[in-house]
């Protein structure tokens, strides 16, 4: 079972799309109701974690960890605090532009890659950064397979990006739950 968290209108074959009203990351009962006695193979969350506080993000990561199969993963993307683009930073800032209809109105945090990495490390995951900007604003990219969860606001898939100019980037990471080696 592969689950898209906070899917909006996003749907991919082989993935189950969910909204906050059926899977609130802070509510363990929602995980239990959705998964029954199963555990998920994978979660995908594009631009969800910034709608929670840092502390809530850790709780959400721990809940995902608990409800993943051993060896399962979550692919996550959030806006990047280190991306050097004034338009972008104004758009993704905490509270957005102050308009309640603005998509970023409910943003509670804008992560840098170290802080976002730490959220999932604290939950017990093995974490791998796939896309991010460092403190100098330099963009880093490691190839990732879209079949494992496509992130639209990414270097490859956002039409505002080209080889010569970045217009929209995210911090993207994979957080994997270690496989438990059982004795024979």
Percentage of the chain surpassing pLDDT 90?
Answer: 82
Question: Helices 28-35 and 54-66 sit at what angle, rounded to 10 degrees?
Answer: 30
- How confident is the model over 37-88, as pLDDT tens digits? 999 999 999 999 999 999 999 999 999 999 999 999 999 999 999 999 998 9
- Please name each of the domains of the chain with its CATH number: 2-176 (3.40.50)
Nearest by Cα to 45 from 135, 175, 159:
175
- How confident is the model over 151-173, as pLDDT tens digits? 999 999 999 998 889 989 999 99
The distance of Cα 32 from the centroid of its chain, to the nearest Å, equals 21
Nearest by Cα to 111 from 91, 71, 82:
82
What's the pTM?
0.93
Q: Can you say whether the dihedral through the CA atoms of 132, 138, 142, 147 is positive or negative?
A: positive
């Amino acid at each position: 079972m592969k689950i898209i968290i906070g899917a909006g209108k996003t749907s991919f074959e082989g993935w189950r799309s969910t909204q906050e009203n059926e899977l609130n990351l802070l509510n363990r009962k929602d995980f239990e109701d959705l998964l029954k006695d199963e555990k998920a193979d994978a979660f995908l969350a594009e631009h969800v974690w910034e709608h929670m506080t840092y502390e809530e993000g850790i709780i959400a990561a721990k809940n995902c960890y608990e409800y993943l199969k051993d060896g399962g993963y979550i692919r996550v993307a959030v806006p990047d605090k280190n991306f050097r683009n004034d338009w972008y930073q104004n758009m993704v800032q905490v509270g957005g532009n102050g308009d309640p209809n603005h998509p970023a109105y409910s943003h509670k945090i804008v992560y840098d890659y170290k802080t976002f990495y730490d959220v999932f490390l604290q939950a017990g995951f093995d974490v791998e950064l796939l896309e991010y900007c460092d403190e100098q604003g330099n963009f880093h990219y490691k190839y990732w397979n879209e079949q494992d969860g496509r992130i639209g606001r990414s270097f490859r898939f956002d039409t505002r990006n080209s080889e010569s100019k970045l217009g929209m980037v995210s911090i993207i990471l994979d957080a994997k739950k270690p496989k438990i080696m059982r004795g024979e």
